[in-house]
């Protein structure tokens, strides 16, 4: 983004000077669109809820009114697609997962290019401070589809007390994982040694980390590559862990079952999103005995999965300029520091230097571990979840299916990967 270089330099300087939350540069008129009402279609996750929670501050600051329409992810997408398909101006700002639907939405012209709006940002809006990895991921065909709002990725939550009691060290390599799980199962039979996502349409999120750490990738030379040696190793490892050491019914597990299981002390290791941190710690029972780490490296090194929700503006909105005010406010350094204290990892490295935030992190050791994991994700993360094709959402099905088939012992690794390759090649060809 060459055009933004100057802005970046400016805002960088500004940020150093002004780190107090809600500090406003005097020359930026937040009240320019006073009286305007904008509609925000939000996902009912930590990010969406946090923005909704602070919306009164925005309304006070700008004199605008925000209508927050919150849905659970699937319903939100259903509504969003319906609204955009009808080219309706009903929604001004919406949340999007670029790593999932980005290519499709961008192809459909359903994103406003936010690059053009950056000029109309408050001086303390440090655009350059946003995670370059995420900004890069949100840029499609040179257009900025969305502003990253958070960074998240699956990390290992584990019970250090159980590891200590059983005399097991946290594995330093991915392929040592089954041994650790086995040892825990042996010394603590009542406890689920390992839990992660088994739900077909949800597991690409956790599974991709295994694929990348094993040195695999989804696609090679325009073909599905699931039967390559690293991919097969990842498939065998992930499905095997869940099959041997996972809880009953893990094939239906996604974030909520996983955090319930871990929170109540019935799992030794949980591989789940950083966003689930508050849910895992709820009630305080796990704060003392939990440690957090990224997935141990494998033959492919350590490539944590990292992605973020983004805030986008509908191209059919008739209030795109006011909508941008909400987007820049929600993604501003000041707001992101606030959000971080609600457990939403900010896509801005500098937040970590915010004194209030520092104090917050320092209050509990586990928070520091969590922050470290988030940092690692932001630094080295890959957002390749599923196939890097326009039909990314549809590609997640066969991936999940291959894992579940092995997990349920319906197919061998070879059969499962070959079948998945076939479906995915058809999907790629069908585009």
Partner 1 sequence: MERPAWLRLLTVVQLGIIGIVILAPLGWMVLSSFKSSQDVTAYPPSLIFAPTLDNYVHLLGTTPFIDYARNSLIVTIGSTVLGIVLGVPSAYVVSLTRISWPALLTLAARMAPGTLFLLPWYVMFRELGLIGSYWALILTHAVITMPIVIWVLLPSFDAIPRSVLEAAQVDGCGIIRSLWRIALPLVSAGLVVASILAFVFSWNYFLFALVLANSETKTLIAAAFNFVGEGSTDWGGLMAAATLIALPPLLLAAAVQRWLISGLTMGAVKG
Partner 2 sequence: MIPSSGKARAELAVLGAPAILFTLALIAFPFCYTVWLGFQKVQLGGGQSFVGAANYAHMLADPVFWSGLRVSLVLYVVSLVMQLVAGTYLALLLFNAKRMPGPLRALLISPFMLPPVVAGMMFLVVLDPSIGAANYLLQSVGLPPSDWLASPQWVVPTIALIDTWQWAPYVALIVLGGLQSLPASVYEAAQIDGASGLRTFRRITLPLLLPTLATATILRSVDLLRFFDIIYITTQGGPNDASNTLNIYGFRVGFEFFQFGYAAALAVTLTAIVLGAVLLLNQMRNAVAW
Residues at the interface with partner 1 (CB under 8 A): 39, 43-46, 49, 67-75, 78-79, 82-83, 85-86, 88, 90, 255-256, 259-260, 263-264, 266, 273, 275-279, 282-283, 285, 343
Decide whether 56 or 426 has the Cβ nearer to partner 2: 426
DSSP calls for 165-229: HTT-PPPSSGGGHHHHHHHHHHH-TTSEEEE----TTTTHHHHHHHHHHTT--SEETTEE-TTSH
| Interface of this chain with partner 2, residues 151 to 170, rule: CB under 8 A | none
Asked if 401 and 196 touch (Cβ cutoff 8 Å), the reply is: no
Q: Give me 40's structure tokens.
A: 């925000």
Q: Give me 271's structure tokens.
A: 């591989």
Shortest reach from residue 94's CB to partner 1, in Å: 13
> 361-391: buried (b, 16+ CB within 10 Å) or exposed (e) per residue?
beeeebbebbbbbbebbbeebbbbbbbebbb
Residue 125 has phi, psi (to 5 degrees) of -80, 100
* 142 interface partner picked from partner 2, partner 1, none, CB below 5 to 8 A per type: none
Q: Is 85 in the site for partner 2 (CB under 8 A)?
A: yes
* 279 interface partner picked from partner 2, partner 1, none, CB below 5 to 8 A per type: partner 1
Q: Is 394 in the site for partner 2 (CB under 8 A)?
A: yes
Decide whether 37 or 412 has the Cβ nearer to partner 2: 412
Q: Which of 84, 168, 345, 378 binds partner 2 (CB under 8 A)?
A: 84
Q: Which of 2, 142, 190, 249 binds partner 2 (CB under 8 A)?
A: 249
Shortest reach from residue 276's CB to partner 1, in Å: 6
- How far is the C-alpha of 386 from the C-alpha of 198, rounded, in Å? 15
The residues facing 224 across adjacent strands are 219
* 35 interface partner picked from partner 1, partner 2, none, CB below 5 to 8 A per type: none
Decide whether 78 or 136 has the Cβ nearer to partner 1: 78
Q: Is 6 in the site for partner 2 (CB under 8 A)?
A: no
Which 8-state DSSP code applies to residue 408? Answer: T
Decide whether 178 or 343 has the Cβ nearer to partner 1: 343
Q: Give me 431's structure tokens.
A: 């585009």
Q: Quote the distance between the C-alpha of residue 319 and its chain's center.
A: 28
Q: Is 391 in the site for partner 2 (CB under 8 A)?
A: yes
Q: Is 405 in the site for partner 2 (CB under 8 A)?
A: yes
Q: Is 60 in the site for partner 2 (CB under 8 A)?
A: no
Asked if 278 and 260 touch (Cβ cutoff 8 Å), the reply is: no
* 104 interface partner picked from partner 1, partner 2, none, CB below 5 to 8 A per type: partner 2
Decide whether 6 or 285 has the Cβ nearer to partner 1: 285
Shortest reach from residue 250's CB to partner 2, in Å: 7
* 107 interface partner picked from partner 2, partner 1, none, CB below 5 to 8 A per type: partner 2
Strand bridging mode 37-43 / 267-273: unpaired
Contacts for 218 with CB less than 8 Å, ≥ 6 apart? 211, 224, 225, 226, 231, 384, 386, 387, 388, 395, 399
Q: Is 115 in the site for partner 2 (CB under 8 A)?
A: no
Closest among 31, 299, 335, 38 to 176, alpha carbons compared: 299
- How far is the C-alpha of 99 from the C-alpha of 200, rounded, in Å? 17
Q: Is 81 in the site for partner 2 (CB under 8 A)?
A: yes
Shortest reach from residue 419's CB to partner 2, in Å: 10
* Residue ranges binding partner 2 (CB under 8 A): 74, 77-78, 81, 84-85, 87, 101, 104-105, 107-110, 192, 198-201, 247-253, 257, 260-261, 264, 266, 391, 393-394, 400-401, 404-405, 408, 410
């Amino acid at each position: 983004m060459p055009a933004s270089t100057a802005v970046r330099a400016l805002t960088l300087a500004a940020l150093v000077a002004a780190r107090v939350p809600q500090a406003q540069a005097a020359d930026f008129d937040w009240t320019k669109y006073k009286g305007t009402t904008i509609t925000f279609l939000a996902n009912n996750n930590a990010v969406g809820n946090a923005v909704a929670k602070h919306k009164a501050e925005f309304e006070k600051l700008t004199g605008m009114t925000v209508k927050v329409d919150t849905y659970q992810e699937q319903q939100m997408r259903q509504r969003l697609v319906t609204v955009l398909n009808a080219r309706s101006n009903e929604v001004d700002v919406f949340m999007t997962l670029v790593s999932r639907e980005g290519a499709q939405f961008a192809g459909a012209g359903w994103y406003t290019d936010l690059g053009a709006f950056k000029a109309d940002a408050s001086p303390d809006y440090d655009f350059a401070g946003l995670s370059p990895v995420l900004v890069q991921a949100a840029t499609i065909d040179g257009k900025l589809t969305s502003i990253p709002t958070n960074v998240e990725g699956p990390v290992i939550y584990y019970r250090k007390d159980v590891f200590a009691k059983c005399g097991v060290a946290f594995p330093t390599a991915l392929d040592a994982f089954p041994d650790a799980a086995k040892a825990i199962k042996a010394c603590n039979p009542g406890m689920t040694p390992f839990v992660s996502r088994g739900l077909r349409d949800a597991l690409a999120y956790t599974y991709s980390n295994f694929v990348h750490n094993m040195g695999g990738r989804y696609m090679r030379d325009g073909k599905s590559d699931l039967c390559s040696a690293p991919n097969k190793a990842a498939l065998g490892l992930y499905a095997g862990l869940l099959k041997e050491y996972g809880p009953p019914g893990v094939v239906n597990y996604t974030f909520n079952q996983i955090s319930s299981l871990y929170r109540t002390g019935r799992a030794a290791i949980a591989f789940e999103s950083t966003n689930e941190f508050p849910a895992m710690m709820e009630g305080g029972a796990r704060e003392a005995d939990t440690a957090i780490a990224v997935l141990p490296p494998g033959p492919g090194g350590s490539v944590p999965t990292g992605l973020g929700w983004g805030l986008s503006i509908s191209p059919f909105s008739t209030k795109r300029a006011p909508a941008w005010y909400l987007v820049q406010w929600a993604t501003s350094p000041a707001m992101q520091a606030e959000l971080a204290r609600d457990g939403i990892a900010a896509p801005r490295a500098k937040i970590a230097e915010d004194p209030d935030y520092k104090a917050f992190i320092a209050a509990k050791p586990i928070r520091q571990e969590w922050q470290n994991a988030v940092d690692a994700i932001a630094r080295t993360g890959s957002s390749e979840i599923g196939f890097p094709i326009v039909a990314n959402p549809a590609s997640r099905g066969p991936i999940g299916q291959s894992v579940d088939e092995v997990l349920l012992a319906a197919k061998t690794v070879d059969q499962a990967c070959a079948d998945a390759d076939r479906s995915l090649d058809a999907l790629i060809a069908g585009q």
